[in-house]
Structure 1
Amino acid sequence: MSLLQTVLAFLVALAVLVVVHELGHYWVARWCGVKVLRFSVGMGKIVWSRRFGPDQTEWAVSMLPFGGYVKMLDAREQDISTLPPEDLKREFTRQSVWKRIAIVAAGPLANFLLAIAVFAGLYIYGMPEPTARLREVPTATAAYEAGLRGGELVTSINGEAVSTWSDLRWKVLQLALEEHQVRLEVQRPNPADAKGSLNETLTLRLDRLQTSDLEGDFLGKLGLDLARPKAVLGRVVEDGPATRAGLREGDLITSVNGNAITDGLAFVELVRGSPGQTLRLTGIRNGQEFSTTVTPEAFSRNDQTIGRIKVEVPLAPEMILASDAPVTALGRAVTKTWDTSVLTLKMLGKMLIGEVSWKNITGPITIADYAGQTARIGIISYLTFIAFISISLGVMNLLPIPVLDGGLLLYYSLELLTGRALPERFGEMAQRAGVGILMTLMAVAVFNDIVRLMS
């Protein structure tokens, strides 16, 4: 069932992205007066088609589900010698260079507009997200040296407001590519007033981060982690180690073997790492301190033995419903799409110069896996995934590689500068080179996908 859901989620996402991209080409071609002969979802042999509209455009579904295309009346691909004058005026190569640029650029632009629409809709609807509150900060980290200790709520980074954990992560990721330090505005719990807070400005150094660190948990390397609730026990399973130890729902675990427990996640991690080992617990029950011992039973999972005591420990972080008015949401969506596009280009540039590993190039297998995972989490995660993939598709298509939209835009830009079209021989050679580049990138992506599956 999981595999079927993954395949369906991937095919739906792919169909949406391809249709939107090709509709961009189609609508602008029609607006520019170019005759469209076929609109195909998928490549290769046509398995279904119907003709609609005044031009009897063929709408088709092809066998290979990767990609799609819009086939226009084009003298380079069809014999137009017998066409009537009114159709000749609608042939693609006879259009002005500006119209050709508009038609080609419309595909990637449609992907960016889709991302903006999805983000704006999500921002208006409101997404429950963890607040930017910090977990206890480990010593010997950049966050500790900056003065962070845990419990602080980050409210802004370099003067830009932060309201959620994803905001914090995104802004630090962007700045880590260029800056050596960032300015954090935080609200620290006030020791003199349990309900109050103190505002502080701290400087967090980023120069310890290597570019390769951005591929993983870079916030963790800085000492930043999401705050979790205290180790308050939930439902206790009957006849489990927790029951035999006398633990009850609502107990607050404060220390294990004499070491303080800062939150529920720390308690869970300690129990999992102690199969068969007796643990001495200290906690608070109904305002009174208590002590007991518990021995986590060994449990095998994924070729790994962990400990468990059969009790629920709530780990959900402090959440906030982030929603905006339509105009604000649209502005945020445009900014998010722009920032993501710029970040993608920066990462591609760092791949070319060797600062970021080529292992980050993903292919259809990994994308399908992400589609399935986000679909299982919920519709908000799935739509967010589609928005990010749509941006990636738009950026990739704008790269100046022959056979991609960006390659064609490069041709037409040179035509604008020189006043004449590039020689056909040059175009053919560039097309072959572009196919070679794409095949190499695809081979790297599939290889990376296989390595990820095997590991």
Structure 2
Amino acid sequence: MENGIGLGTLWDGGLMYIIPFLFVLTVIVFFHELGHYLVGRWCGIRSLAFSVGFGPELLGVTDKRGTRWKLSAIPLGGYVKFFGDESAASTPDREAVSAMNADERREAFPTASVGRRAATVAAGPIANFILAIVIFAAVAFVNGRTVADPIVADVVAGSPAEAAGFEAGDRIDAVDGNPITYFSDLQNYVSGHGEQPIVVTVDRGGRTLDLDVTPRIEERDDGFGKTYNVPVIGIIASGDASSFRTEELGPLQAFGYGVEQTWFVTTRTVDFIGQVITGRQNADQIGGPIRIAQVSGEVSNLGLGALLNLAALLSVSIGLLNLLPIPMLDGGHLLFYAFEAIRGKPLSENVQEVGFRIGLALVMMLMVFAFWNDLSGLT
């Protein structure tokens, strides 16, 4: 009889979620903060600390420039602290700044020009988008791209496609005048146009037909216990494996694919946020760390390529989240810098302090809401 917990039980009990989650989050956070650090350094701003995670330091090393590179205990984010910052959120230490000499002021973040500060702040989200492009491109270059020809295998009874006159065997050539190469091109186009009428050009036995169809919104399961609303027209690609093929991509083709996928995820994420605000999507789809850990664990079973693609998706999401014009986030700082550039001087300390407090409250509310959605999904 064995005593204790076996490795299989331990893995199934949590490690299968925790390890992929930490891998994904660490990669995303590291590159986000690396963007801040590198551009800040190029702008002549001295960095005091580069941390992956928050809280007590677990291990670290100080480089010759005086930057402390460290791994901290709470692996739910990270930060770069620049010279002259009071906190990891880049709120200025005004007492320290006022006591600086001329040489120190040239290296401090709060005394840098508004352009250098804006570039340093914007570099974090930009790094997230670059990371997503690189990951999508690398996975496509190694694994190729699985595609299917845009041929209708079947039409769902009672669907908008049936009402519009689609038939099995139709080959889709264009939608609203945009050429269609793969079946996924049509899916992506429909998913981004909601319930707006579209014109689909099909080839039917050598005849070209324009079919008017209006997608309808249907609820779908995402495979991880949540549902989402998606526009559909009701046509089905062939389920025959022979209808799908893998195309090898060269370096330039893979890069183009990475840019294309990153743009697609960006626009769909922005569209999703807009639909949540207008009530067309359920806000309970917004997830937090538990949700990310669950999805990371499930996706890791599909292989490294799938896990890397998830990292790319999350990198785009984190980049967009940080660009929201909320004080405490990068977008909030950029908003303050925009006002400063227009006015020719910074906003008053009181206004900035109130803004940071409001921003902190909004960020905390979003975190609590996402965490509540996570817990609700476990019941």
TM-score tier by shorter-chain length is 0.7 to 0.9
1:14 aligns with 2:29: no
TM-score, normalization by structure 1:
0.72
**How far, CA to CA, are the matches of 2:99 and 2:357 in structure 1?**
31
**How far, CA to CA, are the matches of 1:85 and 1:61 in structure 2?**
33
Report the counterpart of residue 448 of structure 1 in structure 2: 373
**How far, CA to CA, are the matches of 1:212 and 1:5 in structure 2?**
26
**How far, CA to CA, are the matches of 1:6 and 1:201 in structure 2?**
50
Report the counterpart of residue 112 of structure 1 in structure 2: 129
- 1:310-344 per-residue CA deviation (whole Å, 9 max, x = no partner) reads xxxxxx46212134343343334323323322322
1:29 aligned partner, one-letter code: G
Give 1:217 deviation, angstroms. 6.5
Give 1:223 deviation, angstroms. 1.7
- 1:214-267 per-residue CA deviation (whole Å, 9 max, x = no partner) reads 963636x532234223xxxxxxxxxxxxxxxxxxxxxxxxxxxxxxxxxxxxxx
Report the counterpart of residue 268 of structure 1 in structure 2: none
Report the counterpart of residue 167 of structure 1 in structure 2: 185
TM-score, normalization by structure 2:
0.85
1:121 aligned partner, one-letter code: A
**How far, CA to CA, are the matches of 1:84 and 1:440 in structure 2?**
40
72, 81, 93: which one pairs with 1:71?
Answer: 81
197, 209, 223: which one pairs with 2:234?
Answer: 223
Give 1:213 deviation, angstroms. 11
228, 244, 263: which one pairs with 1:319?
Answer: 244
Q: Secondary structure of 1:218's match?
A: strand
Report the counterpart of residue 50 of structure 1 in structure 2: 61
30, 54, 72: which one pairs with 1:62?
Answer: 72
Q: Secondary structure of 1:403's match?
A: coil
Give 1:16 deviation, angstroms. 0.3
85, 89, 95: which one pairs with 2:112?
Answer: 95
- 1:1-27 per-residue CA deviation (whole Å, 9 max, x = no partner) reads 344222211110000000000000000
- Once the two structures are overlaid, the 10-residue window that deviates more, 6-15 or 206-215, is 206-215
Q: Secondary structure of 1:400's match?
A: coil
**How far, CA to CA, are the matches of 2:251 and 2:342 in structure 1?**
41
Question: Aligned pair in 2 of structure 1 residues 104, 364: CA closer, same or farther (>3 Å)?
Answer: same
Report the counterpart of residue 122 of structure 1 in structure 2: 139
Unaligned runs of 5+ in 2: 1-10, 86-91
Given that 2:166 and 2:211 are in contact with CA atoms closer than 8 Å, whether structure 1 keeps it comes out as no
Give 1:85 deviation, angstroms. 4.0
1:57 aligned partner, one-letter code: T
Report the counterpart of residue 357 of structure 1 in structure 2: 282
Give 1:167 deviation, angstroms. 3.0
Given that 1:211 and 1:356 are in contact with CA atoms closer than 8 Å, whether structure 2 keeps it comes out as no
**How far, CA to CA, are the matches of 1:201 and 1:332 in structure 2?**
30
- Once the two structures are overlaid, the 10-residue window that deviates more, 39-48 or 403-412, is 39-48
Alignment of 1:45-444 (within 5 A): 45-53=56-64, 55-74=65-84, 76-77=92-93, 79=96, 85-125=102-142, 126-176=144-194, 180-187=196-203, 198=206, 200-206=208-214, 208-209=216-217, 216=228, 218=230, 222-229=233-240, 316=241, 318-444=243-369
**How far, CA to CA, are the matches of 1:29 and 1:370 in structure 2?**
34
**How far, CA to CA, are the matches of 2:100 and 2:106 in structure 1?**
10
Q: In terms of Rg, which structure is larger?
A: 1
Give 1:97 deviation, angstroms. 0.3
1:173 aligned partner, one-letter code: S
**How far, CA to CA, are the matches of 1:442 and 1:225 in structure 2?**
39
Greater helix percent: which structure? Answer: 2
Given that 1:123 and 1:322 are in contact with CA atoms closer than 8 Å, whether structure 2 keeps it comes out as no
1:203 aligned partner, one-letter code: L
**How far, CA to CA, are the matches of 2:343 and 2:78 in structure 1?**
32
**How far, CA to CA, are the matches of 1:414 and 1:84 in structure 2?**
27
Give 1:145 deviation, angstroms. 1.6
Give 1:356 deviation, angstroms. 2.3
Give 1:391 deviation, angstroms. 0.6
2:66 aligned partner, one-letter code: Q
**How far, CA to CA, are the matches of 1:335 and 1:200 in structure 2?**
29
**How far, CA to CA, are the matches of 1:383 and 1:410 in structure 2?**
32
Q: Secondary structure of 2:198's match?
A: strand
Q: Secondary structure of 2:297's match?
A: helix
Give 1:161 deviation, angstroms. 3.9
Given that 2:41 and 2:47 are in contact with CA atoms closer than 8 Å, whether structure 1 keeps it comes out as yes
Q: Secondary structure of 1:180's match?
A: coil
Q: Secondary structure of 2:70's match?
A: strand
Aligned pair count reads 356
Give 1:371 deviation, angstroms. 1.4
**How far, CA to CA, are the matches of 1:67 and 1:130 in structure 2?**
39
Report the counterpart of residue 36 of structure 2 in structure 1: 25
CA RMSD of aligned residues (A): 2.7
Give 1:153 deviation, angstroms. 4.3
- 1:367-418 per-residue CA deviation (whole Å, 9 max, x = no partner) reads 2222122221123322221111111111110000010000000000000011
Report the counterpart of residue 247 of structure 1 in structure 2: none
